[in-house]
Structure 1
Amino acid sequence: MSGAGLPLRDVHVPPAPPWWPPAPGWWLLLALLAAALVAWAAWRWRRDRRRRLAGRLFDRTVAAAATPAEQVAAISSLLRRAARRVQPGADLLAGDAWLALLERDLPGGGGLGEGPAGLLRDGAFRRSVDGREVDALRPIARARFVDWMQRR
């Protein structure tokens, strides 16, 4: 038996598995990632749409008011409607309690101060309201309104 038999060969390593197509687990992970991305994009789109619609509502309502005093009254009315989304009964607050609620967590770090705050407190009841004061109040009140309207 010496010399007769099968010749022995070295052990051969099988080839590495191909990188394509991936294993089923990778497909599942990719599908979950795509679903999460679509859900995030839909949430973001809805949030931005609500923000745009609230901004348009604010701008249309304030622009429909003829005088600066009517604009202040419209701004106050819009803010009180939106305040109900944040705190039940907030639309019934008056004076300093109402102004404190308006300034709480204001986007942009506050800014109502005494001028715009005083205008919201009694501007709708003044005989004459300066248009520049209303112009200073409008962007701050709009930011507060949009912020409150997108909360649930």
Structure 2
Amino acid sequence: MSQTTLTPDIQAQLEQLKDIHLPAPISWWPLAIGWWILIAIALISFIAGIWWWFKKSSRLKKSVLAELHGLPSDNPILFISELSALLRRVAIYRYGQAYSVHNLSGQKWANFLNQGDKGIAMPLANMIANAPYSNNVSSGFDANALRQEAERWIVHQLKRGKK
């Protein structure tokens, strides 16, 4: 093994060398342009999704209320039967299979319509639940009162969204 000796000239040059300095660590801010584009796309998508959801909800409510106001009130049994079917469709949309709304009938259906602070008044809920199976409904039948209660119930159910 031979040992090399450095000449004074090389030794002087080595002493003039400086250590390698690492660059400063890369910061996360400010963001690169690609991240700004991604954030903008995400924000636009979020706003468009909310707008679409509100439009869909509004369109559904308008459609259901138009159907409610289009029910024929000259035949009480037909009116109440169609009203009950409309309320059941709204309830199935709102609750899905959670309450088994499609299986409710009679007093259970009336109790379901009456529940909550915005429920349909119990005498009217009983009329809606039992009139389709009755021959005589004309006593106590008030189409406007039924429409108002049903409209209030529908608006409340559709305002709350799906469960």
Structure 1 counterpart SS, 2:120: coil
More RCO (CA 8 Å, sep 6+): 1
State how far apart, in whole Å, the 1-side matches of 2:139 and 2:104 are: 23
Matched, 1:136 2:145: yes
Query: What TM-score do you get using the length of structure 1 for normalisation?
Result: 0.61
Of 32-41 and 81-90, more deviation after overlay is shown by 81-90
Of 46-55 and 84-93, more deviation after overlay is shown by 84-93
Report the equivalent of 2:41: 31
Matched, 1:53 2:63: yes
- CA 1:71–1:42 in 2, change beyond 3 Å: closer, same or farther? same
Query: What TM-score do you get using the length of structure 2 for normalisation?
Result: 0.58
- CA 1:82–1:43 in 2, change beyond 3 Å: closer, same or farther? closer
TM-superposed deviation, 1:142? 3.2
Report the equivalent of 1:75: 83
Instruction: Give the AA of the match of 1:78.
Output: L
- CA 1:40–1:66 in 2, change beyond 3 Å: closer, same or farther? same
Over the aligned positions, Cα root-mean-square deviation in angstroms equals 3.0
CA deviation profile, 1:37-76 (whole Å, cap 9, x unmatched): 112111221221122122222222x1x3423343222212
Name stretches of at least 5 consecutive residues in structure 1 with no aligned partner: 1-21
State how far apart, in whole Å, the 2-side matches of 1:28 and 1:87 are: 36
State how far apart, in whole Å, the 2-side matches of 1:48 and 1:79 are: 17
Report the equivalent of 1:11: none
Name stretches of at least 5 consecutive residues in structure 2 with no aligned partner: 1-30
- CA contact under 8 A between 1:65 and 1:71: conserved in structure 2? yes
| Identical aligned residues as a percent | 20
Structure 2 counterpart SS, 1:74: helix
Report the equivalent of 1:19: none
- CA contact under 8 A between 1:78 and 1:145: conserved in structure 2? no
- CA contact under 8 A between 2:69 and 2:147: conserved in structure 1? no
Instruction: Give the AA of the match of 1:104.
Output: Q
CA deviation profile, 1:7-40 (whole Å, cap 9, x unmatched): xxxxxxxxxxxxxxx9513343233212211121
- CA contact under 8 A between 1:95 and 1:121: conserved in structure 2? yes
Instruction: Give the AA of the match of 1:35.
Output: S
- CA contact under 8 A between 2:107 and 2:126: conserved in structure 1? no
Report the equivalent of 1:98: 109
State how far apart, in whole Å, the 2-side matches of 1:77 and 1:115 are: 18
Of 70-79 and 83-92, more deviation after overlay is shown by 83-92
- Higher Cα radius of gyration: 2
Instruction: Give the AA of the match of 2:47.
Output: L
Structure 1 counterpart SS, 2:138: coil
